[in-house]
């Protein structure tokens, strides 16, 4: 990455964001934290001596006793080696625990932020960007959408996108423009076509791209380095912000797992958008949900410094700072008595191996019980937790092509409507019902279709929705039971 020369991004901020003022009480907390010598008569929080908590002991897996700590942890169960992270409110570790239980700064505990800053510097070479703690990815995405989007704005995203994310923007009046994808993720040429052909009569040209570059949910696709570079160049050319939602960054497979240092480990992955960011136009969203535990509800947003005050203002007037206990865990996990960054890297490399084994187990079963039927195929995912299974619906005996002319060309609101030219969606709906009746639950592609009015693509996505999302994140027993059922249902459905 070149030397950052962050540009002014004010024109990308929603009017609500620009109108939001600083919470004056939170501003006083910041003054107190920056001037510890002050005698404070301004605070209104309970005194720490009255907290009914004295000690927190968190027993975690040891990463020093094995080259594959995740396998050791999983197979040995209660007898697996552990280490304890202790925080006592009236001892040396007391300030951390006391701070975690008190009203805090919207950005999060400084010790936890220090750990995250180290992650960003090492894995993304982003020393000039600033991290802000969140309550996980969903919270982060909702806040970023709200910070950037005004009613009537258009955002860009993959035509198949994890459903709750675009719905979070709908309530703010944000509209979506789907971008065609293939097995390698978003197609840069399609993105450029949409932006270069944009008709200003529709409204403001899209100024935000939402992307999950690694193990995209639901398709499992991963953008290669060349596509990332091209997309960033388009962001500069057409002046849009990239929201890089990357929960599966550490779950990228088929990379060498013999790295002996963190610096070597980082070379195994494609360059992130954050690593490419010299303008400050990338907003990266990370979470500990996939590498530690989702119930922690802890993640972070990494942005150019100029956006941080706007995020903090939104946090201070909504969720406020994340829960203190998970922040203590992160601060201690990366601290001198915990795993530290080298131990974390060892854990995620081992975790990657475990999920890769699960992926390969799924693939073997899929090839034996499903692909062998001749009615479905799937690309091997390079990251994430999902197979994107293409059902060869055109081979179904009741598959039909439809003459679109007699059908209405607009929806009930008079908006342009892309008309399906096959009965693929109806057949896929039938297949889903057959799977449930047969005893296996799958995710149909239709629930991941990006909501849009059809203005931007004359070909209905219903004709391209002949996919199912299947997970390999479960146990081998679950896969061994479920995949043969799916294969059996598929054969019966095509009979």
Average pLDDT over residues 388-409: 84
Q: Express each pLDDT in 471-484 by its tens digit.
A: 999 999 999 999 99
Q: What is the mean pLDDT of the chain?
A: 90
CA dist., res. 491 & res. 97, Å (int): 58
> Which position has the higher pLDDT, 93 or 115?
115
Taken in order 448, 452, 456, 462, is the CA torsion positive or negative? positive
Residue 295 has pLDDT above 70, yes or no: yes
Q: Count Cβ neighbours within 10 Å for each residue of 439-477 and write b for 16 or more, e otherwise.
A: ebebbbbbebbbebbbebbeebbbbbbbbbbbbbeeeee
Mean pLDDT, rounded, for 9-13: 95
Higher-confidence residue: 407 or 313? 313
The whole-number pLDDT of residue 158 equals 96
Please enumerate in sequence order all residues whose Cβ is within 8 A of that of 135, keeping only pairs 6 or more positions apart, or say none. 297, 298, 299, 319, 322, 323
The partner residues of 181 in beta bridges, in order of sequence, read: 186
CA dist., res. 193 & res. 228, Å (int): 17
Range with the largest mean pLDDT of 22-36, 334-348, 449-463: 334-348
Nearest CA-CA partner of 443 in 289, 220, 238? 220
Give me the phi and psi of 319, to 5 degrees please.
-80, -20
pLDDT at residue 257, as a whole number: 60
Does residue 245 carry a pLDDT above 90? yes
Maximum C-alpha span of the chain: 80
Domains of the chain: 98-348 (3.40.640.10), 350-494 (3.90.1150.10)
DSSP codes, 378-419: EPPPSBSSEEEEEE-GGGSTT--B---TTS-SB-TTS-B-PP
Report the pLDDT value the prediction gives residue 486, as an integer from 0 to 100.
Answer: 98
Q: Tell whether pTM > 0.75.
A: yes
Q: Out of 91-100, 122-131, 227-236, 370-379, which region has the weakest mean confidence (pLDDT)? A: 91-100
When comparing pLDDT for 35 and 226, which is higher?
A: 226
Q: How far apart are CA 427 and CA 85, in angstroms?
A: 54
CA atoms within 13 A on the CB side of 374: 5
User: Which has more pLDDT, 366 or 464?
Assistant: 366
The rounded distance, in Å, linking the Cα atoms of 250 and 267 is: 12
Residue 468 has pLDDT above 70, yes or no: yes
* pLDDT recorded at residue 317: 85
Residue written as tokens 């991941």? 448
SS3 59: strand
Predicted confidence (pLDDT) per residue in 23-66, tens digit = 787 777 778 778 888 888 887 888 888 899 989 999 999 999 88
């Amino acid at each position: 990455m070149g030397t950052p020369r962050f540009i002014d991004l004010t024109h990308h901020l929603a009017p609500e964001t620009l109108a939001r003022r600083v919470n004056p009480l939170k501003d006083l907390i910041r003054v107190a934290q920056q001037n510890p010598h002050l005698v404070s008569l301004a605070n209104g929080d309970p005194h720490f001596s009255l907290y009914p908590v004295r000690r927190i002991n968190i027993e975690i897996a040891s990463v020093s006793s094995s080259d594959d700590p995740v396998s050791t942890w999983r197979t040995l169960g209660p007898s697996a080696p552990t280490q304890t992270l202790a925080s006592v409110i009236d001892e040396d570790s007391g300030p951390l625990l006391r701070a975690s239980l008190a009203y805090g700064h919207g950005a999060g505990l400084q010790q936890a932020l220090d750990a995250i800053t180290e992650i960003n510097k090492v894995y993304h070479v982003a020393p000039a960007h600033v991290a802000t703690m969140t309550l996980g990815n969903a919270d982060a995405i909702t806040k970023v959408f709200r910070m950037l989007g005004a009613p009537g704005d258009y955002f860009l995203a993959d035509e198949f996108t994890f459903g709750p994310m675009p719905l979070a923007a709908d309530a703010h009046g944000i509209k979506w423009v789907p971008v065609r994808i293939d097995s390698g993720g978003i197609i840069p040429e399609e993105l450029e076509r949409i932006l270069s052909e944009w008709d200003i009569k529709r409204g403001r040209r899209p100024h935000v791209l939402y992307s999950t570059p690694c193990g995209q949910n639901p398709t499992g696709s991963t953008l290669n380095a060349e596509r990332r570079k091209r997309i960033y160049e388009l962001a500069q050319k057409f002046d849009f912000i990239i929201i890089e939602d990357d929960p599966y960054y550490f779950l990228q497979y088929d990379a060498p797992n013999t790295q002996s240092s963190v610096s070597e480990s980082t070379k195994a992955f494609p360059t992130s958008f954050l690593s490419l960011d010299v303008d400050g136009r990338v907003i990266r969203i990370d979470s500990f949900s996939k590498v530690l535990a989702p119930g922690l509800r802890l993640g972070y947003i990494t942005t150019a410094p100029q956006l941080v005050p706007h995020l903090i203002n939104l946090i201070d007037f909504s969720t406020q700072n994340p829960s203190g206990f998970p922040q203590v865990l992160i601060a201690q996990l990366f601290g001198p008595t915990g795993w530290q960054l080298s131990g974390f890297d060892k854990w995620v490399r081992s975790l990657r191996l475990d999920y890769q084994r699960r992926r390969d187990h799924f693939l073997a079963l899929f090839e034996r019980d499903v692909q062998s039927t001749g009615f479905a195929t799937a690309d091997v995912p390079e990251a994430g937790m999902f197979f994107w299974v293409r059902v060869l619906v055109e081979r179904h005996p009741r598959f039909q092509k439809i003459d679109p002319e007699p059908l209405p060309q607009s929806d009930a609101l008079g908006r342009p409507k892309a008309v399906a030219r096959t009965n693929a969606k109806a057949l896929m709906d039938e297949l889903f019902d057959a799977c449930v009746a047969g005893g296996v639950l799958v995710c149909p592609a239709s629930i991941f279709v990006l909501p849009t009015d059809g203005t931007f693509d004359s070909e209905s996505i219903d004709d391209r929705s002949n996919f199912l999302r299947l997970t390999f994140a479960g146990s081998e027993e679950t896969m061994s039971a479920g995949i043969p059922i799916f294969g059996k249902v598929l054969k019966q459905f095509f009979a």
